Amino acid sequence: MRLEIPVPLPPVLQNLPLPIIGSPLFIISNPKLVIAQCKAGVVGAMPALNARPAELLDAWLAEITEALAAHDRAHPERPAAPFAINQIVHKSNDRLEHDLAVCAKYKVPIVITSLGARTDVNDAVHAWGGVVLHDIINNTFARKAIEKGADGLIAVAAGAGGHAGVKSPFALIQEIREWFAGPVALSGAIASGGAVLAAQAMGADLAYIGSAFIATEEARAADSYKQMIVDGSSDDIVYSNLFTGVHGNYLKGSILAAGLDPDNLATSDASQMDFAGAASRKAWKDIWGCGQGIGPIKQVVPAHELIERLASEYRAARARLVLT
C-alpha cells in the first residue's frame, strides 16, 4: 500500500530545472564541479571532508556561495540550483563539529548525512534553516533517519557507486513509500535521462547521480580514472567492503592495478572504519569507486554538457511515454 497524500518538496528543492542531485564524491567533488552543476540546474554536492586541511572548507564555501550569487545576479531568469554539503556523522569523523560550524556560517541550504542518523546534527542544520537528507540502504535505516529528524531520504540501491546497498530500487522505494511521503532521492546506476524519469515513475522525487560526474572535466579525478569509466561497463564493477569497512562498488581495473585479485578479496572488519584518517583517503585515492550505470558514459565532457544530455534524454523519455 502506497501513501497517497502528496507532500510538497521543501522550497529549496522545488522548481529545479532537472530533478537531479549530483552526489558528493569523496576526494573528487570540489567547488568547480559543484558550481558547474548548480549553474546547469542540478543540485551540486561535495563532502566536507574533501576540504583538507579543515580550514579550507571556509574558503570553498565562500567560493561556492559567491559564484552562485554572481550567477543569479547575471541570470535572474535562470537562477542556479542550490548546493549541498555531505557530512559523515560516523564517530570516527573528528571534524564533524568544526565542519558543521562552517556550514552554519554559510547557511548551507542542504546537508546530506551519511553513516549514522543523529538528532543533534539534524537539529543543528534546522537551526540555520537547512534541510537534511540522509542516505540509507534499507527500510530499517530509513525509518531510523526520519525518527531522528531527517527531512528526507536518499535511497542507495544496488549498483550505486561508492558505499552502496544490495536492495533492488523497486523494492526499496516501494517499502519506503508505504509509510513516508516526504522527499526521496534514488541512487543506483542512474546515468541517463530515461533512468531519471524511471526513478520518478517508481516513486522517487529526485535522481541521485555520482559516477557519471567523475568523467567530467571539472572532477578532481585522475585522467586514467575518468578513462576507465568511459571504457568500462557494469561488468567492470566489484562489490567489496575490504577498503573502508563498508560495502561499496569499485572499478575492477583499479583493484588489479593495486596488485589485488578482484575475484578473491578479503572481508574487512566494519568496526575499523575511519573516515577522518589517512587510510580512508588512500583507499579512495588508489581504489576507484564507481557504480554500475556507466554504460552511457562515452567520453569525458564538461559537467554542463553531461547535464544537457541528461535533460535532452529526460524530455525524450517523457515524450515517448506520452505518445504511448
- For 189-236, write each residue's pLDDT tens digit: 999 999 999 999 999 999 999 999 999 999 999 999 999 999 999 999
pLDDT at 282: 60
Contact 91, 135 (CB under 8 A): no
pLDDT given for residue 322 in this prediction: 80
pLDDT of residue 245: 82
With a CB cutoff of 8 Å and minimum separation 6, the contacts of 56 are: none
Q: Give the pLDDT of residue 278.
A: 55
Q: What is the pTM of this model?
A: 0.93
